[in-house]
Amino acid sequence: MSRSTRAAGRRSAPRANRSRHRTPRARTTSKAIGLTLLSALVPGSGLVMGGRRKLGAFVLTLSIGLLLIAAYVGLTRRDSILAFAVSPRQLLIATAAVVVLGVCWIWIVVASHKLLRPVSMTYTGRLAGSMFVGLLCFGIAVPTTVAAQTVMAQRDLVGSVFQSEGDSKSATRPKVDKKDPWANTPRLNLLLLGADDGVGREGTRTDTVIVASIDTKTGATSLISLSRNWMRMPFPEDSPLHKVYPDGYWDPKLGNVEQPEYYLDSMYENIPKQHPGILGPTDNEGADVMKVAVGEALGLDIDYYMQVNLAGFRQIIDAVGGITVNVSYRVPIGGDYGDGPGSNAHKLPSGYLEPGPNQKLDGYHALWFARGRYGLSDPSRQERQRCTIHALVNSVNPATLVTKYQQIASAGKQLLRTDIPQEILPAFIELGLKVKNASVTNVDLDKSKNFPTGKNPDYEAMQTLIQKAISPKSKQPVASTPSTTATKKPSSGTTTKKPTTKPSVTPGATENLNDACAYNPTESGK
């Protein structure tokens, strides 16, 4: 073959190649932009239409395959998703995967547009195409970044609040089967502590003490509130604390009088100071002391605790967008009696939450709705605290979690302490979903009979009431629906009906929180 023939062959090859791609690129700028949008919605389709059929088919198949796998896992493997969502290591891998997928998606859009745009374009057409591709890439980058940040926020929350069983210490945490934690636990008893460590206070006082007793099969929950001024809190006979306080937590030398430094709310702070390490190795001795004493007083085995800093509780409320509650009587904002442990000088409230149904409260006002006590009784505050928890549970919905999860996770990381280990978090989340859809009741401990004052509560009588309330033989109360007068906001120009008075509750009986938290202007909170 002569030199001229070989040269002619080399020159002819590119022309044949260009003619092969001329047909798919012989389109208008507007059509190319439309096909680029399609390539962003269906990754791989633009590569196929642009002539890169093998690569496009591979990307298209991979995209469809990932969608099908995600749909299958989401519909059939919820346990796997829950385990994945609470594993710091897997969440880190997920973050990297989200970033890689986002980068690949942007590359596919850019590559598809290069193949789909006309060979010859005007300056205006090229500018319009570039701007459109830039907007598409921005539209992909933003949700990808948000998704990656959300996953990292979840990882940070899990790692900060929930420690692995091997990396944490607890003197009271039960040993359970990690694969099926509730196999031998018909009821899970969770101690909820509110730490009152605001400005001007010395140390930490448990301003709120509530036990949530949860049926692990149905999620039906009974809330049991303890008064902050209870004395003589008992300890089990096999506990080292029983040897120190055989007649309960009080000082017999002071006589049968009110002893503020021996109230329930002082145990968290005082006992660890007076008897450090008495229960054994632990990361939170105050919480372990409370678990032991509360369990013995109520006749329950307390499994885990969840402690919330009440001074920062408002951040959680603000993160979920506020809560809606019924305010049946004036609730003070601030104020101090000037006596008792942790008190400041006497001070009148700076304001009040005025009565009214369906009030949307931000974090600041929700905190005072739960804490306000100046001029009001302790049982009324306990009820408002239960209603606050009830409203918070009801306010958290999927839309809120998606849009504000980073704020919720950030607030939770700063406010929560617990001895719940990472290993059983999937089971806890599963149980939490049951709780949200089940009935939540209040167990009335009959204050007038069992603890008219805090000096000598009748713990045995309370134990009897509690066992009757949570016994599986008892008929569980049906979740009631609040009356329209308690839930429907009156429209302007209409006459508001008088709210229905909530039904009276027999002392010692259970009461559904929908009823307990209904609007009742006849209440005084005294």
In the chain, % helix, strand, coil (3-state, to 5) comes to 50, 10, 35
What pLDDT is attached to residue 379? 81
Domain boundaries, the chain: 29-161, 187-337+349-470
Dist. CA 76–CA 82, nearest whole Å:
12
Segment (H or E) for 137 = helix 123-161
Dist. CA 209–CA 110, nearest whole Å:
58
Segment (H or E) for 146 = helix 123-161
pLDDT digits (tens, 9 = 90+) for 223-269: 999 998 999 999 999 999 999 999 999 999 999 999 999 999 999 99
390 exposure class (CB count in 10 Å sphere: 0-12, 13-18, 19+)? buried
257: number of Cβ within 10 Å: 9
246: number of Cβ within 10 Å: 10
- Which residues does residue 359 pair with via DSSP β-bridges, in sequence order? 325
CB 512 within 8 A of CB 475: no
| Crossing angle of helices 459-470 and 285-298, rounded to 10° | 80
Segment (H or E) for 221 = strand 221-225
Joined together, the tokens standing for residue 417 give 């302490």
Phi and psi angles of residue 18, each rounded to the nearest 5 degrees, phi first? -65, -35
pTM: predicted TM-score of the whole model, two decimal places: 0.71
CB 190 within 8 A of CB 305: yes
What pLDDT is attached to residue 438? 87
- Which residues does residue 212 pair with via DSSP β-bridges, in sequence order? 190, 223
Helices (H) and strands (E) in the chain, counts: 19, 11
The residue with tokens 């929700």 is 366
Sign of CA dihedral 508, 514, 517, 518: negative
| Crossing angle of helices 425-436 and 78-85, rounded to 10° | 120
281 exposure class (CB count in 10 Å sphere: 0-12, 13-18, 19+)? exposed
What pLDDT is attached to residue 160? 79
pLDDT digits (tens, 9 = 90+) for 193-233: 987 654 444 557 787 899 999 999 999 999 999 998 999 99
Options 3.50.50.60, 3.40.50.150, 1.10.357.10, 3.40.630.190; CATH of 187-337+349-470: 3.40.630.190
- The Cα-based distances of 524 to 224, 327, 332, 359 in angstroms read 22, 11, 12, 18
How large is the C-alpha radius of gyration of the chain?
31
52: number of Cβ within 10 Å: 18
What pLDDT is attached to residue 50? 87
Dist. CA 194–CA 308, nearest whole Å:
5
Per-residue DSSP letters for 414-472? HHEEE---GGGHHHHHHHHHHHHTS-EEEE---HHHH-SSSSS--HHHHHHHHHHHH-T
286 exposure class (CB count in 10 Å sphere: 0-12, 13-18, 19+)? buried
Residue spans of the chain under pLDDT 70: 1-27, 196-203, 311-312, 337-345, 396-405, 411, 414, 472-510
Residue 39's closest CA among 62, 27, 56, 55?
56
What pLDDT is attached to residue 6? 52
CB 188 within 8 A of CB 216: yes
**Which strands, in side-by-side order, build the sheet including 205-215?**
416-418, 304-309, 187-196, 205-215, 221-225, 440-443, 510-512
Dist. CA 488–CA 87, nearest whole Å:
42
Segment (H or E) for 65 = helix 53-76
The residue with tokens 């617990």 is 418
